[in-house]
Structure 1
Amino acid sequence: MPPSEYISREENVVQALYCTHHNWLNTWLRSRLGNAADAADLAQDTFVRLLQRTERFELKAPRAFLRTIARGLVIDHWRREEIERAYLESIAHLPEALAPSAEARVSVLELLEEIARLLEGLKPKVRKAFLMAQCDGLTYKLIAQQMGISLRSVERYVAEALYHCYVLRYGTHG
């Protein structure tokens, strides 16, 4: 059998979408990002996401579908840039001897991105209380005072955040 016979229906659909809409998507992304290289990367990532989908899809509005996927990738891209900028600012004051190596910076940034993904589903107050407890090392009492909420609310928020992370990590609700 020739290799083309091994190509699934979904791969044919993605190939057709790519040929028909890649240039449009790349232009749309460039207008959002202001950077041709990032736009090209995210356009490719959009089609890779389509290839990785396990469910079948029928497209009545392919550009809207592609734009939805690409918009999520743009948001992820901006979040990564924001995390990287904040991290680099936080280590910029360190003496050269104490500055992390390039490899360590990459590892820390990957970890920070994973943490951000874990926490993105939380309500802002829950996320804030959790970060104040875990990252700032504040007691629940201090968090309650600083946030202007009850001690019980802080306990509930931190427990909710921990449970949220547990479910995301282990994929179980029980």
Structure 2
Amino acid sequence: MRRPEQDPGAAAHGDGHAELRIDALYREQAPRLRRWLDARLRSSEDAHDVVQDAFARLLGSSTREGLRQPEAFLNRIVRNLLIDRSRRAANRIAHVPIDAANEPETRATQEDAIQLDQMRIRYRAAVDALPPRTREVFLLHRMEGLGYKDIATQLGISIRTVEWHVGEALVRIGKELGQ
């Protein structure tokens, strides 16, 4: 996706055509997908998140350039994200008491702890490497738990711009973490 502040004609060379196609697809499909998801998820915030995740996956897909029907591919991504959400929700245990009976079979090893620390360092570095405004919006959304509307109001920007910043952050962090 291109930055909302950029001129569409500025991306006329290189990968600009693909960016304009994705931008046009976002403008066409995102509102429809949000309405459809909002009805199913009963949460506009969750609907916004799924739409952003879907476009982030589309942008990260190596096959997106050769797609004849990107709308159909996007719809498949959204359905897959919903399936993933329902599986996670079905597997989530509401409450597990902490006692001897619930001790894990195997304890985390020192290697696991080192890998976790390395992943945290890479994640923090990826977040720190984001452009300042993108980082600010991302942290307000993911760390402070603010919704898109609240962030837009607080920063004096449009909801569309908040969506772009969150999506851009997800794509950049995903690339840095090798996803």
- The structure whose Rg is larger is 1
TM normalised by structure 2 equals: 0.44
Structure of higher RCO (CA pairs closer than 8 Å, 6+ residues apart): 2
TM-score (norm. length: structure 1): 0.45
